[in-house]
Amino acid sequence: MNLFRFFGDMSHLASILILLYKIHATRSVRGLSFKTQALYVTVFVARYLDVFTEFVSVYNTLMKIFFISSSCFVLYLMKGRYRPTNDPSIDTFRVEYLLGPCALLALIFHYRWSFLEVLWSFSIFLESVAILPQLFMLQRTGEAETITTHYLAALGAYRALYIPNWIYRYWSEDVIDPIAVTAGIVQTALYLDFFYVYFTKVLQGQKFELPA
């Protein structure tokens, strides 16, 4: 565990706490893509099924349990308690265009031909594009609550921090994970546009608004 990865994980943890805070404070799930949140549940369940078969560390196990349970809780908040504040009519990204290609990629690229390993690959590919429905929604509405942009920034920072972590691991341990690294670079690249607006507007105290 190096500092890049540790702060990356902390940023991921923070993003979920910010998300829960946003829902609680505004008593609304407005501006959040249910599709993106449902994709994250799929990602975590597919990847962390190994929590029952592999033991890495207490930290690893606790984080896995947290990510699975918190993402399921967010889905419940969106479809249960705060359902009236959810607007599916602006959440129109076609997730089948993500699920199909990711399943195909996982069948082609994996480390071992076993159910859990192919599922692991699938989850890595799916995570890299899971934010697209949310970014698409942002693009469509052209604006976002500041707290929602902090959530996205923390999530993007988590991905960005994993990149120096991999460089460090390659240098210090001489190991590389081509599937995770390739998908991770793609995932981080998807945030570049968002980060540009976040740094030039939100962090200067302005509202997150895209040019018409």
Partner 1 sequence: GTEDGHKDEL
Token pair 């419940």 in the structure block, residue:
76
If one asks whether residue 198 binds partner 1 (CB under 8 A), the answer comes out as no
Give the x-and-dash track for 138-177 against partner 1 (CB under 8 A).
Answer: ------------------------x--xx--x-----xxx
Question: What are the structure tokens assigned to 25, written together?
Answer: 């404070």
178 lines the binding site for partner 1 (CB under 8 A): yes
Angle, CA 50 vertex, CA 20 and CA 171 arms, to 5°: 85
- Pick from 10, 90, 103, 180 the residue near partner 1 by CB under 8 A: 180
Q: Which is nearer to partner 1, 61 or 146 (CB)?
A: 61
Residue type for position 57: S
- For residue 66, what are the CA distances in angstroms to 9, 19, 43? 12, 14, 13
Closest to partner 1 by CB, 11 vs 86, is 11
The yes or no reply on residue 89 touching partner 1 (CB under 8 A) is no
Least CB distance from residue 92 to partner 1, whole Å? 30
Give the separation between CA 203 and CA 207, rounded to whole angstroms: 9
Residue 149: count other Cβ atoms within 10 Å of its Cβ: 22
Residues forming beta bridges with residue 143, ordered by sequence position? 209
Residue 34 sits in the site that holds partner 1 (CB under 8 A): no
- Smallest gap from residue 50 Cβ to partner 1 (A): 8
Binding string, residues 96-135; x marks residues near partner 1 by CB under 8 A: ---------------xx-------x---------------
Residue 78 or 118 having the CB closest to partner 1: 118
What whole-number distance in Å separates Cα of residue 160 and Cα of residue 104? 26
Q: Kindly tell me the sign of the dihedral angle through the C-alpha atoms of 171, 177, 178, 182.
A: negative
Angle between helices 34-48 and 58-79 (to 10 degrees): 150
Binding site for partner 1 (CB under 8 A): 5, 9, 12, 50, 54, 56-57, 60, 63-64, 67, 111-112, 120, 162, 165-166, 169, 175-180
